[in-house]
Chain A
Amino acid sequence: MIQIICPFCGKRDHSEFSYGGDGEITYPALDANEESWHDAVFLRENIYGRQIETWQHIHGCRSWLLVDRDTKTHEIFSVKLAHLDWHILLEKNR
C-alpha cells in the first residue's frame, strides 16, 4: 500500500486518493497551434524513475497534491499542495 502524507490530514493510504496523472505537463496557450496541443494532450514522457504527479485527496480534505514518486519502487519523496502559493503559506504558518 502506498501511503501519502497529506499536508492537511497526515499519512493516509493511497486508496483515499484519486490519481490525476503527470504533474509537469504545461498546457499551451488557447490559441497555440495544433501541434503543441497534440503534444500536450496525447504524448507522455512516461518516466522510469522519479516523477512529479498529481493526486487528489477525495476522501479527505479534497486538496490537489503534487507528489514526487518513483515509478520503479513507488517510494514517495515529497508531497506539496498543488497550489504552490498556498503551500508556501501553509509552510510559513506551520
Chain B
Amino acid sequence: MTRFSAWNVIKNGFTGQSGWSRQWRDPEPKSHYDIVIVGGGLHGLATAYYLAKNFKLTNIAVLEKGWIGGGNAGRNTTIIRSNYMLKGNREFYEKSLKLWENLSHELNYNVMFSQRSHIGLYHTANALDAASRRYNIMRQTGSDAEIWSRSDLEKKIPHLNYAHDARFPIHGALVQKRAGTARHDAVAWGYARAADKLGVDIIQQCEVIGIKRNARKITQIETSRGSIQADKIAFAVAGNTSRLWQMAELGNLPIESHNLQAFVTEPIKPLLDQVVVFGVAGAHFYISQSDKGGMVFGGDIDWYKSYAQRGNLPIVQDVAECALSVMPCLGRVKLLRHWSGVVDMSMDGSFFICKTPLDNLYLNAGWNYGGFKASPASGWYFADLIANDRPDEIIKNHDLDRFRRGHHIDERGAGADPKLHG
C-alpha cells in the first residue's frame, strides 16, 4: 500500500500515476481468527484499527454484509461535536473530538475534518439558562464553549432569519468552535486502509447468517462465505443489533430500531461556513454545507419503529418547514437526494460499549443520533474493552445493566421512550 505523501504525489505525477497500489486487500475469510468484528461500519473499522495499533492484535477479521461505508457510515450528516454534559458522555465525546483533531495524520488519509464551529441557536431565556449550564460544564472539563449574542451571530452568519416577528426569534447561540464536520466516506476508507496495513482482514459481502453457542461462549459464526471461529467476537452493527442479538438467542435489548432521514441539495456557492442547529418547541433541524456545495441537513426520526431504510413524507415536510423558518434563502434550492438509515435508539439516548452475558462476546450499540462523531472514541474504547476484557473507567456505566441500577445516562431527560431521544 503506497503511503500518501508530498513526495509520492510528485513522483506519481511524473510516472503517469502508475505507482499507487490498491487501498486495502480483498482477502478470503480464514476459518479462525483471534477476534472477529461483525459490522464494517465506522465503529467496526475503527475498533479493528485500534486493536491492531494500540494492542498489537492483528489476527482480526471485520465482516461486512454489504460494502464498507454503505450503511450508516454513508447515511449521516457528518456533524462532529462534544457538547455532552453527563459524566461518562462528557469525557467520551471529548476524547472523540481530540482523536478527530489528529485523525488525518494518524491514518495518513485526509478525512477532511473541518473545525468550522457548531452553532446551537437559542430562542428563549430558559434555553439560554439550560444551555449555559451545559456549556459551563464543558468549559470546566477541558472543552471549549462560547455564548454568542444576537449581534455577534448577525455578523458571522448573515443568512439566518433574524426577523423580529419570526415565530421563534433568534436571541443568540451556544457555540463550540472546535466542532465541525468530516468527509464520512473518507473516514471509512481511512480506517479500513490503516487497519488493513496492520494486517486486519476486511471481508465484504460477508453476512452473518447463524451463530452457534454453548451456555458460556459463541463457538462458531456461520456466514454467507463459510464458517468462522474466533476467540473473541464483537458486534458493531447498530441498526440491526437486536437481530444479531436474537440470532445468538440472547433475548431482548433496551433498543428500538428507527429510521433517521437526511437530505442534500444541489451544490450552490459558499453560503454557510458553520454547522447550524435549530431546535425549539417541536422543531429540530441541523444544517451544514459540504465541500462540494450541497446543503446537508436533517431533522427528527420518523417516530415509528422501522428497519426499512426508507423515510416518510411528513418528516420531509417538517424538515423543509424548519429549513425555511431558519434560512428562508433556501426556498428555491432544489433537493438533490434524500435517504434514510436505521439507527439503534436506546432507552436513555446513550450508547452501549460493554461485556455481555457470554464470555467471548462484546457489544457496541445504541448510538441513537450520535454515531458518526463517536466513531474514533467508540473504536478506541471498544478495542480497549476487547483487549483487556474490562471496560475503561469512563465507559463503565455504558453497559446493558445500567437500567437495573437506575443509572440512566439521559442527556435530554426524556425518559424510557427511545423515539424521544433525538
Contact of B255 among A14, A34, A46, A73 (CB under 8 A): A46
* Interface of chain A residues 17 through 45 with chain B (CB within 8 A): 19, 21, 34-35, 38-39, 41-45
B347: nearest chain-A partner, CB-CB: A42
A42 touches B257 (CB 8 A): no
A1 touches B312 (CB 8 A): yes
- The docked-state distance in angstroms from the alpha carbon of A71 to that of B243 is 12
B305 touches A71 (CB 8 A): yes
* Interface of chain B residues 2 through 31 with chain A (CB within 8 A): none
B252: nearest chain-A partner, CB-CB: A43
Interface assignment of B308: CB less than 8 Å from any CB of chain A: yes
B313 touches A46 (CB 8 A): no
B242 touches A44 (CB 8 A): yes
B254 touches A44 (CB 8 A): yes
Interface assignment of A74: CB less than 8 Å from any CB of chain B: yes
* Interface of chain B residues 106 through 126 with chain A (CB within 8 A): none
B242 touches A14 (CB 8 A): no
B309: nearest chain-A partner, CB-CB: A72
By size class, the interface of chain A is: 20 to 34
**B307 — which chain A residues lie within 8 A by C-beta?**
48, 71-72
- The docked-state distance in angstroms from the alpha carbon of A16 to that of B4 is 54
Interface assignment of A68: CB less than 8 Å from any CB of chain B: no
A44: nearest chain-B partner, CB-CB: B256
A39 touches B312 (CB 8 A): no
B315: nearest chain-A partner, CB-CB: A15
- The docked-state distance in angstroms from the alpha carbon of A39 to that of B253 is 9
Interface assignment of A51: CB less than 8 Å from any CB of chain B: yes
Interface assignment of B358: CB less than 8 Å from any CB of chain A: no
Interface assignment of B314: CB less than 8 Å from any CB of chain A: yes
A44 touches B255 (CB 8 A): yes
* Interface of chain B residues 253 through 276 with chain A (CB within 8 A): 253-257
**B419 — which chain A residues lie within 8 A by C-beta?**
19, 21
Determine how close the nearest CB of chain B comes to the CB of A16; give it in whole angstroms. 10
Contact of B305 among A41, A46, A73 (CB under 8 A): A46
Interface assignment of A2: CB less than 8 Å from any CB of chain B: yes
B417 touches A14 (CB 8 A): no
- The docked-state distance in angstroms from the alpha carbon of A34 to that of B403 is 11
A43 touches B314 (CB 8 A): no
Determine how close the nearest CB of chain A comes to the CB of B2; give it in whole angstroms. 42
- The docked-state distance in angstroms from the alpha carbon of A89 to that of B81 is 55
Contact of B256 among A39, A41, A46, A72 (CB under 8 A): A46
- The docked-state distance in angstroms from the alpha carbon of A11 to that of B408 is 40
Contact of A72 among B304, B308, B416 (CB under 8 A): B308
Interface assignment of B310: CB less than 8 Å from any CB of chain A: yes
Interface assignment of B332: CB less than 8 Å from any CB of chain A: no
A71 touches B308 (CB 8 A): yes
Contact of A21 among B243, B310, B313, B417 (CB under 8 A): B417
- The docked-state distance in angstroms from the alpha carbon of A14 to that of B314 is 9
A41: nearest chain-B partner, CB-CB: B416
- The docked-state distance in angstroms from the alpha carbon of A45 to that of B253 is 7
**B252 — which chain A residues lie within 8 A by C-beta?**
39, 43-46
Contact of B308 among A41, A46, A73 (CB under 8 A): A73
**B282 — which chain A residues lie within 8 A by C-beta?**
none
- The docked-state distance in angstroms from the alpha carbon of A47 to that of B88 is 30
- The docked-state distance in angstroms from the alpha carbon of A48 to that of B253 is 13
- The docked-state distance in angstroms from the alpha carbon of A19 to that of B312 is 14
B308 touches A44 (CB 8 A): no
Interface assignment of B229: CB less than 8 Å from any CB of chain A: no
Interface assignment of B59: CB less than 8 Å from any CB of chain A: no
* Interface of chain B residues 368 through 422 with chain A (CB within 8 A): 403-404, 416-419
Which of A34, A41, A44, A45 has the most chain B CB atoms inside 10 A of its CB? A44
**B347 — which chain A residues lie within 8 A by C-beta?**
42
B417: nearest chain-A partner, CB-CB: A21
Determine how close the nearest CB of chain A comes to the CB of B312; give it in whole angstroms. 6
Known: A19-B304, A21-B417, A38-B404. A14 touches B312 (CB 8 A): yes
Known: A1-B312, A15-B314, A71-B257. A42 touches B416 (CB 8 A): yes
Binding site for B on A (CB under 8 A): 1-2, 13-15, 19, 21, 34-35, 38-39, 41-48, 51, 53, 71-74
Between A and B, 6 residue pairs with Cβ closer than 8 Å are A14-B314, A38-B404, A43-B253, A44-B253, A71-B257, A74-B310
20 other A-B residue contacts (CB within 8 Å) besides A1-B312, A15-B314, A19-B419? A1-B313, A14-B314, A19-B304, A21-B305, A35-B404, A39-B252, A42-B347, A44-B242, A44-B254, A44-B418, A45-B252, A46-B256, A46-B257, A48-B240, A48-B257, A48-B307, A53-B304, A72-B307, A74-B306, A74-B310
The 7 lowest CB-CB distance pairs between A and B, nearest first, are A46-B242, A43-B252, A15-B314, A42-B403, A19-B304, A42-B254, A19-B303
